[in-house]
Structure 1
């Protein structure tokens, strides 16, 4: 298997580690983390439930039409991949509805994968789509990542710092889809990570398909995203065009809020900030909510894929392991 690239790169709920006892990231020794990863990986490779065809996403009232070119992994096994194997903070997997991989590949291969979530924020207006300054937003998000990095490192996890737009945000008003890509540098990783975001707007919220890869796969993933972006669809009655302004909930932010805050919009909403910020207009919303961007590491906006052992060790013969 082509493991080296995937296990040496960076990649949004409760399963304990498949080891004798869970160990916190802050206190675990490298050997203990490696053992936990090895055990979780070997177990999941044997048990991985690959689902193809049309996959219902009840929480979003939507479907993923995967055909036989992709397969879906449910939320429990996705959590194992994200937390136990790829070493993301446990809260990073909260709300994850599943993951999608290309046919013939798995979480140990040098390939892209997609994390599926749904944000039940209500109808997100696209009125601001043509007036957003994405350069300014990028600067704010990078500053926020840098500000919150010490807190993340103190928890024993690698911090991720946004470097640039790998693809500037683009909104398709006809399909009500938003696509953008972030080049992210994680601590101690030899290559930057690529987070490719695809958001489909619906009547009651936003379906998120966050593609994970490394930055040198940008061209490959860009092409894959063009096809993969079309696999998601809301069901009749839950589509963007079905919105009824007289009865339906409306999100307190627009396209700018989706990109600037990402998952952090949910945090801001919980503490009541969005309602306050909405009174001061979208530009303040972009700047202030972006300060929460560092929390994306914990709630799904950024995912890491950090190995604890060399790729070759995954395939060590059983007798060699016993001698060790």
Structure 2
């Protein structure tokens, strides 16, 4: 999982964005209808309300408009048609592919209540490091929507509610995994809890539009030749299946390993905190300087 460089990150976003961010770039080539993703791993049969941006245009939005530092390469981005990407109704879906092997689904009835307790401990254990890096502590409140596996679509979905120290509104991390022959498409939506219905609706519209190409579908798995993933459905819900850090601000960060939770550290402490609290988090060096002055 650690060596996988691309993952499908999905963010259902609701900018107002950081002060000083650029406007929506001119000349974006938004494509409608059926799109084949780079590499041919999957297609998107988009409904009229959605548009596809290729990787170059996606970077313009992510870096130039939304103020994220350059991150790992993507397979493009989905945006709503006719919506100002810098307005309150704007959101985007970052697309990539996590090729870690075939994920078995025979544990679809896992003990997710017990898993939640383990994940809460993981979040709490990382708060010391978060504070040292200049970020607020986080608490996993619980499932905003417990894990649910659609065996017919080979689709796992769940949502977590998180609280960031100092915020007046809890955060939402809504996740969908679409399983294929050799890996998974990953959708991860980040917003405030008050936008739960918007996030849920948007993520599932994107999931419904996606389909693996022939030979890459879940049913195409060949146990004689194909590699199995080192994790299962329960591990996915716990945050396994690494999403490489790099797209900060509006992007969720998934940490590798079975016991790691999607902490969305930079996302929640970046644009989301700015939106809720009206301020940016201190950078690590700035936070250290403040502590030295206070001491």
The normalised TM-score by structure 1 is 0.65
Q: Would the alpha carbon gap of residues 133 and 214 (structure 1) be closer, same or farther in structure 2, given more than 3 Å must change?
A: same
Partner of 1:305: 271
Q: Would the alpha carbon gap of residues 105 and 97 (structure 1) be closer, same or farther in structure 2, given more than 3 Å must change?
A: same
Given that 1:144 and 1:294 are in contact with CA atoms closer than 8 Å, whether structure 2 keeps it comes out as no
> Would you say 1:66 and 2:32 are equivalent positions?
no
Moved more, 222-231 or 196-205: 222-231
Deviations 1:284-318 (A, max 9, x none): xxxx94433367647x9x79524769999xxxxxx
The equivalent position to 1:292 in structure 2, one of 260, 263, 283, is: 260
1:105 CA displacement:
2.2
Given that 1:195 and 1:211 are in contact with CA atoms closer than 8 Å, whether structure 2 keeps it comes out as yes
Given that 2:38 and 2:75 are in contact with CA atoms closer than 8 Å, whether structure 1 keeps it comes out as no
Q: Would the alpha carbon gap of residues 59 and 137 (structure 1) be closer, same or farther in structure 2, given more than 3 Å must change?
A: farther
TM alignment of 1:90-105, pairs within 5 A: 90=69, 93-105=71-83
1:63 CA displacement:
1.2
Name structure 1 gaps, 5 residues minimum: 9-33, 268-287, 313-324
Distance 1:156 1:150 in 2: 10
Partner of 1:173: 151
Name structure 2 gaps, 5 residues minimum: 1-13, 246-255, 279-295
1:54 CA displacement:
2.1
> Would you say 1:127 and 2:106 are equivalent positions?
yes
The equivalent position to 1:138 in structure 2, one of 111, 116, 122, is: 116
The normalised TM-score by structure 2 is 0.71
Distance 1:187 1:82 in 2: 26
Deviations 1:161-208 (A, max 9, x none): 432211111101111111111223345443222222111100010011
Partner of 2:95: 116
Distance 1:190 1:256 in 2: 31
Distance 2:165 2:60 in 1: 22
Q: Would the alpha carbon gap of residues 262 and 127 (structure 1) be closer, same or farther in structure 2, given more than 3 Å must change?
A: same
The equivalent position to 1:7 in structure 2, one of 5, 8, 16, is: 16
Given that 1:116 and 1:210 are in contact with CA atoms closer than 8 Å, whether structure 2 keeps it comes out as no
Superposition CA RMSD, Å = 3.5
Partner of 1:163: 141
SS of the counterpart of 1:119? coil
> By percentage of residues, which structure has more helix?
1
Partner of 2:37: 57
1:209 CA displacement:
2.0
TM alignment of 1:1-324, pairs within 5 A: 6-7=15-16, 38=20, 40-42=21-23, 44-59=24-39, 61-79=41-59, 81-82=61-62, 90=69, 93-111=71-89, 112-130=91-109, 132-157=110-135, 160-264=138-242, 289-293=257-261, 297=265, 304-306=270-272
Distance 1:80 1:234 in 2: 27
Q: How many residues align?
A: 254
